[in-house]
Structure 1
Amino acid sequence: MKKLLFHITYSFGNFANTIAYQVFGNRIQFYYVDILGLNAATAGIIWTIYGIWNTINDPLMGQVTDRTRTRMGRRVPYVFFGAIPLGLSFFFLWTPPGKSPWMLAAYFLIMLFIFDTIYSLTIIAYNALFPEIARTVKDRVQLSAVREILATIALLLSYIAAPILSETVGFIWMGAIMGGFISLGYLISMIGVKEDKSLIKDDDNVGIKAALKIVLSSIPFRWFVVANLTKEYVFLILG
């Protein structure tokens, strides 16, 4: 029972991640283009620039966590101390200062970079803890099931509650409420989590340049980059 409770609290990180990813993915384009009036072609260019960063920031953030050494471990600090900044950056996505076209575009691009960087750092650190949280196959099956249950609840909130909130109290309050869920979920997920420092080996580290070389030499990754940029290009064409 104690282990199940621990799995439930840890799985709240998946709850937070699902809300952040789904609400962002499903509402942000509509908000900036249809509600705030950002030019669709400009939005397409912004998404293309963002897409390039999004393809390389994951290995970079993975390197950052791998090379971190603290009393709390390598991963826990980024989830615990990243929870509130992530929720705040999500909230600020919905609070652009004024409606000047250039200011709106600049703010959107800057906040995309800030949000995505914190999001990547937090979710990579969170997911990297999974093998330590669940050491056996049985534990991993149970933990995966609990994670999916909470992700499903978060999915319902993202697709049902977020649109209702944006229509009734506005996008800013929706961002504040959902941002609160994101921060709270990640904070709950770190209750009782302690990293096994014996698993940390300094000689396992690969330098950032070497890691990027490995990633960029991967044929599947190159196809992923092409697909991701194509998706962003579609936004530009549709604009």
Structure 2
Amino acid sequence: MSKIKELKEEPYSLKKAASYSIGQIINNASYQTFSLLVFTFYFTIVGLNVILITIAFMIWSVWNSINDPLLGSLSDKTHTKWGRRYPYIMISIVPLAIVMFLLFTPPVSLGIKDQIPNFIYFLIIIMVFEFFYSMFDVNLIALFPELFITEEERTSANAVRMTVYLITLIITFGLPTIFIPDFSNPKYLTQYHIFGIFIAALIILAGVCFLKFSPKEKAEFRDEYKNIQSFKETFKICVKNKTFMRYLPAEMGMWYVIGVTTTIIVLYGKFVLGIGEGETIYIALMLAIGFISTAIFMNVLWKPVVRKIGTRKSWMISVFIWILVISPFMFIQDRFQGIIVLFFFGIGLSGPIYIIDLILSDIIDEDEVNTGTRREAGYYGVKAFFYKLSTVFVFLTIGLVFTNIGWAVYEPEKVTSEVIFGLRALMFIFPAIALVISLLVMYIYPLHGEKLAIVKQKLQKIHEEKRSRL
């Protein structure tokens, strides 16, 4: 055992779960900043036509869907004294921090206002961002089912992880309001630059803390790389897994809703709810209330509900609630009503957010029982291939709506009733359709009840055999 000191096993503890959860700071500081601000920045500050933005995001989504499974497969096949995941996490942190600054320094920063140079820069920088973000995220997520094996460990660690996730999410959404008085006013371009520097520094600091304090990979999985097939074979294995493929559309629907609402909330807040210059704090407050609510209901409601009735039924109930609570987006008029709606928004969101990794961990367990090999990063990567394709639908939806309501180019002085309806539809009608699909898909999800219990029993014996060979 001394020969594998770097991979020694640690028992579950709150400290172990919390130290692993430091990674959520990096995750949120990068991707949530990207989700909240990048569309608004390039549409309103840089002045790109929404059609060009849609084209760029569609190309990015295709790249995104290929990038993740490739990195996942590469990670599964890696063998170092630090394990399979940590080398990629270490490599990705500094480049990701640098890219976070570069996202907000397009050619318009140098006085170049032509559409094509800014479009090319936008396309390249979002693809570079996605490469380094995925390198970090795929490996961070793949650590979860390796570090926390039993259902009890996973539910406890997941509650800690998602609480940290939601707290840092609130902070991440609040930070831009300190630096940028109006997210859609071109005169605040310099403030975007300053904010980019701050986020880059935050990522590096959190990265140092994660690498220093996070738990190490388990010893019994150190030789898993020997059994990992090529990316092509891994992809085939994953897509042939009927349980996995039946689950994917449900998660795609969830991410579609999150993608649309976080992208549009800035413009919805300004033009529907009347949030003006110097009041961006209300955008942050709405989001903060929503995610505080998510954190509360995730722990006090969905954690005990999942333990009592399982992941499948809990998902279906939470998604049904989610559909109901977003309906007021069609008629609310001011920021205070927005805060109330976002609070109830958290009741629905908290269920799927809490459950997603529990379900995928079960699917990975079932695959290990069937094949003898754990391929976490492969499954997370292939899952990302499909659910990140939902981003195509996010920006295709936004592009089509904006084009049809006469808002292909940002013109704040030309906000018609059609623009208001379009923004409302993007916050409710399209998300509701996606959630109905998610609910129906989860209804036919097969890995639950007695079938899941049998998988857990077989898995325990497999892990005992692997530990006996150390």
TM range, smaller chain: 0.7 to 0.9
Between structure 1 and structure 2, the one with the greater Rg is 2
2:448 alignment counterpart: none
Shift of 1:232: 2.6
1:185 aligns with 2:195: no
**Higher RCO structure, 1 or 2 (CA under 8 Å, sep 6+):** 1
Shift of 1:187: 2.9
**Is the contact between residue 15 and residue 147 of structure 1 (CA under 8 Å) also seen in structure 2?**
no
One of 2, 25, 45 as aligned partner of 1:35: 45
Shift of 1:94: 1.1
1:159 alignment counterpart: 173
1:107 alignment counterpart: 121
Paired residues, what number?
Answer: 238
Whichever residue aligns with residue 32 of structure 2, its letter is Q
Quote the RMSD (CA, aligned, Å): 2.6
Separation in 2, partners of 1:138, 1:224:
27
**Is the contact between residue 228 and residue 234 of structure 2 (CA under 8 Å) also seen in structure 1?**
no
1:207 alignment counterpart: 230
* Residues 1:48 and 1:83: Cα distance change in structure 2 (over 3 Å): same
1:236 alignment counterpart: 399
Deviations 1:107-163 (A, max 9, x none): 111111111011111111111111333344443333222212221221112222223
1:198 alignment counterpart: 220
2:20 alignment counterpart: 10
* Residues 1:154 and 1:39: Cα distance change in structure 2 (over 3 Å): same
SS at match of 1:24: helix
**Is the contact between residue 11 and residue 147 of structure 1 (CA under 8 Å) also seen in structure 2?**
yes
The unaligned stretches of length 5 or more in structure 1 are: none
Whichever residue aligns with residue 42 of structure 2, its letter is Y
* Residues 1:224 and 1:66: Cα distance change in structure 2 (over 3 Å): closer
Shift of 1:216: 6.2
1:174 aligns with 2:195: yes
Task: Name the stretch that deviates more: 174-183 or 57-66.
Answer: 174-183
The unaligned stretches of length 5 or more in structure 2 are: 1-11, 182-187, 250-384, 403-407, 409-470
Deviations 1:67-86 (A, max 9, x none): 11222111011112311111
Identity of aligned pairs, percent? 28
Separation in 2, partners of 1:11, 1:208:
28
**Is the contact between residue 75 and residue 85 of structure 2 (CA under 8 Å) also seen in structure 1?**
yes
**Is the contact between residue 10 and residue 191 of structure 1 (CA under 8 Å) also seen in structure 2?**
no
**TM-score, normalized by length of structure 1?**
0.87
2:308 alignment counterpart: none
1:150 aligns with 2:160: no
Deviations 1:12-63 (A, max 9, x none): 1012212222111010011111011122211111011111112222211101
**TM-score, normalized by length of structure 2?**
0.46
